């Protein structure tokens, strides 16, 4: 034998290259699982344009309506603080606190505040823990409505309550 051990080295190289090709094939195919529509975003992504015009057409009311319960494991939480950050300007702050379903929310969370004067303010929150909206000059009773949409489909009004701002 002219070069001892060369045959074993060539076989190890072939085996290693075959394993690398196999692992790459698994890695590329794993990214394609669960896509039923060929990677095209679902058509429900365009539905928020129909939801936004509906908010101003609803008459301003200070009477809370029913809320919907999020599916189990998809709950989210909000903190509503009256008089924060300033009691002098009668601020109302709404903060996203997260929850089990925070990764399943669409890009925007709709917040609608009806002030005691009848003025309606619509804002959006991002589904990022700590993201907040502050409504100024909100002295008195204010109706706070928070609506979330899931990427899996479905829109839920999770909060509809009266908040008193001193």
Per-residue pLDDT of 61-107, as tens digits, reads 788 888 898 889 889 999 999 887 777 888 899 999 999 988 988 88
Question: What is the domain count for the chain?
Answer: 2
> Which two tokens mark 106?
């669409």
* Domain hosting residue 4, numbered range: 1-33
Report the alpha-carbon distance of residue 83 to residue 118 in Å, rounded: 19
Indicate whether 2 and 68 sit together in one domain. no
Identify the CA nearest to 141 among candidates 78, 71, 64, 88. 64
Indicate whether 126 and 92 sit together in one domain. yes
CB count within 10 Å of CB 148 equals 27
Indicate whether 19 and 65 sit together in one domain. no
Q: Which pLDDT belongs to residue 54? A: 42
Assign 56 a pLDDT band (cuts: 50, 70, 90): very low
Indicate whether 19 and 77 sit together in one domain. no
Indicate whether 65 and 139 sit together in one domain. yes
Indicate whether 12 and 79 sit together in one domain. no
């Amino acid at each position: 034998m002219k070069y001892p051990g060369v045959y074993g080295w060539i076989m190890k190289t072939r085996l290693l290259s075959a394993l690398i090709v196999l692992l790459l094939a698994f890695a590329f195919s794993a990214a394609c699982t669960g896509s039923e529509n060929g990677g095209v975003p679902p058509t429900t992504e365009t539905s928020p344009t129909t939801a936004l015009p509906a908010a101003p057409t609803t008459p301003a009311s200070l009477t809370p309506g029913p809320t919907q319960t999020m599916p189990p494991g998809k709950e989210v939480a909000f903190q509503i603080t009256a008089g924060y950050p300033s009691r002098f300007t009668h601020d109302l702050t709404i903060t996203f606190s997260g929850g089990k379903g925070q990764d399943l929310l669409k890009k925007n969370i709709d917040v609608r505040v009806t002030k005691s004067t009848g003025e309606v303010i619509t804002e959006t929150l991002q589904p990022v823990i700590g993201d907040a909206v502050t409504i100024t000059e909100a002295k008195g009773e204010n109706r706070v409505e928070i609506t979330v949409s899931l990427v899996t489909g479905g829109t839920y009004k999770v909060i509809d309550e009266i908040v008193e701002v001193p």
